[in-house]
């Protein structure tokens, strides 16, 4: 169906039937499909640059308010938590102090610890050697290294 240009005179009534015919002519009279446009540039990836959280010390119904900020490519978020603290429970009265218990039995006498009766330490360059002699048992060998300035 070809579209025919309609001319309307001042004061002329345009009926629904005339509008339908005019609409059919306009809508059904399509031209050839155009070529696709060029591809758009790749978008930039968004990044979360900061996240903060606060918690108040109140009791009540828990809630959180999240506030986004920053830009579309450098987003920030702030979380404000409220009423996370539980209500204090009832605590009973403190009981009376109990009586002291009986003393325990006396333990066996301790063994006398050996004592140092002699000590020789030699430093040769960075090498340490020597011997520790005790009042009981075999001598104890001393070895090690020395680092200047420590």
Average confidence (pLDDT) over 142-150: 79
Please give the pLDDT value at position 5. Answer: 60
Q: Work out the end-to-end distance of the chain between its first and last CA atoms, rounded to an integer number of angstroms.
A: 103
Confidence of residue 38 (pLDDT cuts 50, 70, 90): very high
Is residue 149's pLDDT more than 80? no
pLDDT at 11: 72
Mean pLDDT over 74-96 rounds to 84
Report residue 3 CA to chain centroid gap.
66
Q: What is the mean pLDDT of residues 86-94?
A: 76
Q: Is the pLDDT reported for residue 65 higher than 80? A: yes
Pick from 38-42, 88-92, 107-111, 116-120: least confident = 88-92
Residue range 113-127: mean pLDDT, rounded: 87
**Model pTM?**
0.33
Contact present, 122 and 128 (Cβ < 8 Å)? yes
Give the DSSP letter of residue 119.
Answer: E
Give me 2's structure tokens: 């070809």
Answer yes or no: are the C-beta atoms of 119 and 96 closer than 8 Å: no
DSSP H/E element including 18: helix 16-27
């Amino acid at each position: 169906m070809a579209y025919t240009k309609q001319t309307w005179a001042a004061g002329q009534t345009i009926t629904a039937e005339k509008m339908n015919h005019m609409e059919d002519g306009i809508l059904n009279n399509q031209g050839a499909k155009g070529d696709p446009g060029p591809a758009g540039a790749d978008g930039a990836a968004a990044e979360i640059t900061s996240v903060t959280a606060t918690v108040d010390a109140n009791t009540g119904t828990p809630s959180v308010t999240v506030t986004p900020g920053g830009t579309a490519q450098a987003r920030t978020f702030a979380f404000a938590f409220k009423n996370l603290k539980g209500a204090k429970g009832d605590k009973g009265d403190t009981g009376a102090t109990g009586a002291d218990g009986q003393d325990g039995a006396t333990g066996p006498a301790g063994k006398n610890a050996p004592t140092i009766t002699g000590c020789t330490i030699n430093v040769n360059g960075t090498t340490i050697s020597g011997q520790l002699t005790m009042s009981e048992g075999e001598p104890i060998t001393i070895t090690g290294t020395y680092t200047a300035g420590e």
